[in-house]
Structure 1
Amino acid sequence: MSYFKKILIANRGEIARRIIRTCKRLGIETVAVYSEADALAPFVDEADEALCIGPAQAKKSYLDVEKVIEAIKQTGASAVHPGYGFLSENAVFARRCEQEGITFIGPDARIIELMGSKIESRRQMQQAGVPVVPGWDGSLESVEEALQIAENLGYPLMLKASAGGGGIGMQLVHDAEELRKVYATTKQRAVSSFGDGTLFLEKWISNPRHIEVQIAGDYEGNAIHLFERECSVQRRNQKVLEESPSPFLDEETRQKLLETAIRGVKQIGYTTVGTMEFIFDDQKNFYFLEMNTRLQVEHPVTEEITGIDLVELQMQLAAGQPLPYQQDDIRCTGHSIECRLYAEDPKTFFPSPGTVHRLVLPEENIRLDFAIKEGNTVTPFYDPMIGKMIVHGFTREEAIEKMNLALENVRVEGITTNQTLLQWIIQHGEFRKGEYTTRFLDKILETV
């Protein structure tokens, strides 16, 4: 079924290719916009139309709202899919689309603004009875105020940017001296990264688990979950590997988590696909962390266990249709794992741009969502993730073995990747037992 005749994809790389695949299946025409650096990228060739919108710098191409709007109008697209990153959670862009009569495949600007503020989203969740991490909900006006509040809360604490995301704008502080030292630089980074220097404080939960719930809502007030994803394997607060379902949760805790996420969704009247993120302590107490009002990088593991195409679901909801599923229709079948292959040094995490002279990927029992092909150049201008490897098994053990075999058969020449790090993770005893936390990767790197 064609929900739209033609959509423009305001993104690049593997997510652009992934959206194109669903559109081709549904008979929807696609328009790719690209920077000069991406002229030879696979997504440009795979779209029905392609339009260069600027130089390599994202601010002059993918992040330029007016250039993207003009491209939509020029090509006659009736809708835009923002993917993730770039303009996907940009309320100004969503509002401009509304003004121009363009369907934004995502939530409206009000929801983006509401949930884009970590302070306001905490308040909304508290009103819905969703537990939040203990902390200070007001914005900090000065380092002196921060020091006074921190004294009352007790250290250690997380100093966080209200508009932050993707692990950016977070700073762990252990005492007053450290808070005084990092306050100004954290605020400055928040301004430069998000255009908003508002900071707040939360209690630090040591050795936590990071687990998120995939949700969806429609214009009739219905809401569903599509189970959870375990996202605790992280470097610098950014995810490296995800799996579903979480090996940490017992069934009682899982049901409590999923029901809590639905309460949060209904509180704000959410009308598309999104993700509720939670942090767990070692006693399985959980707290709302943030909401992502877009598709997640790790969405394929949910698709693998449910059989539901989340990009198609986004388009259905954006077209004003009700949810096509009741909660009881959705089943979690088997286990899925996703590994993110980055063009970066596996120990320092420094990017490794360059030309990929050879690329050999496994072909059986695996889903590959890749940004590049052999001969492409990985540029220094964008996120260094070059692709995702996703496996599905009847059991977690089977999924682990499939991923282990797949990683053994990857060959990338011309650039450095994190392939060896992913192999260490998959083969590590703590991971195999499902006993890891967000500190897991740091512990691995201390021993290799």
Structure 2
Amino acid sequence: MEEFQQNDLNTVTLEKDDPIKSTSPQISVSEFSCHCCYDILINPTTLNCGHSFCRHCLALWWTSSKKTECPECREKWEGFPKVNILLRDAIEKLFPDAIKMRFEDIQQNNDIVQSLAVFQKYGNDQIPLAPNTGRVNQQRGGGFFSGVLTALTGVAVVLLVYHWSSRESEHDLLVHKAVAKWTAEEVVLWLEQLGPWASLYRDRFLSERVNGRLLLTLTEEEFSRAPYTIENSSHRRAILMELERVKALGVKPPQNLWEYKAVNPGRSLFLLYALRSSPRLSLLYLYLFDYTDTFLPFIHTICPLQEDSSGEDIITKLLDLREPTWKQWREFLVKYSFLPYQLIAEFAWDWLEVHYWTSRFLIVNAMLLSVLELFSFWRIWSRSELKTVPQRMWSHFCVKTAGDPSEDGPRRDTLASEGIFCDSMNHSFINPLYLKISHKLCI
């Protein structure tokens, strides 16, 4: 009873000392009571959940239950609870007499003193563990990344070994071997690669044991007579045309993916990254800087003339160096502007007979990339952000804003997720297959 009277005196004294506070609602001890002992808070300790208790009440709770959780809501606390200094100072200024009496009672209770000592010892033991926990997490993180690095290193070693071993076998390809050194079997192999129609003359060349030196001396008249007897004039012209190319180069020109890879590894690597970043810019580069060797065969393959498309094989189209007609240009520009991946798919379609599975993978991948690009267009259209398209294209081409570390995180993520045209290529899960397209572009 005396305690509550004293508290009322404290409240009244505050009101007299500060006339501004006298107009505010009165503050009583019950508003600063502990939810364990229901008395005024002594050394209030606030947990992660926000509840505050007397320091000794929390120590008694921990000593009896051995649980690191809130006595009220049962939420576990992290680390070691500390005294809420701001709340403690406020209570001591508001109710100094009540705090003094409570301190005297606590000091006289041996159980409370002992519990506080044990609780504090537990806290002191927890403090050195915090840096160790960080070290353990760092070690775990370092172990994870070192494992990833080790795995990538192993994959790189395997790829290098495979590359070196494949390079040894590439020396046996006709694209690396002089024509004069071809054997009869290699001459037949060269003949069969001209097209399905050339298989009709396979046995005739093989029976005559035509090697590379003899092949270089053959003329159109000899092809028309026995023992070769190539009666079809178009077949004779095709063989002679290819033979002239072989004579000019000194080796067999690449006619499939693997041969092109063996002859032009540097260009293949360049086209890999160019097509991966942007098919439109890659095709523009081919038009400007590789028109005859690459662009003309490409456009004649994907946009053939209707009167010439029937009955022509892929090699014949690739040898066509005529200037494209306006009809071919119109078809190409429409697909180039809206569906650039369809151009790649159509090019791969013509190689189904040569590369069965590779061409099918390329076609499926091009379809998926077209869908992703359409979704990107739709997202930008629905958000009314078409005006930002030129800026994003310029950022992709020159500054690479989407990957610039100087950009803030949300904007960088937005640019990376909303990139159109070339940025949608980054969503591909079969990007390595674009190397195979680049191998074919200059065949």
Pick the TM interval, shorter chain: under 0.3
**Structure with greater proportional strand content:** 1
TM, length-normalised to structure 1? 0.20
**Structure with greater proportional helix content:** 2
Bigger Rg, which one: 2
TM, length-normalised to structure 2? 0.20
Give the number of the structure with larger relative contact order, counting CA–CA contacts within 8 Å between residues 6 or more apart: 1
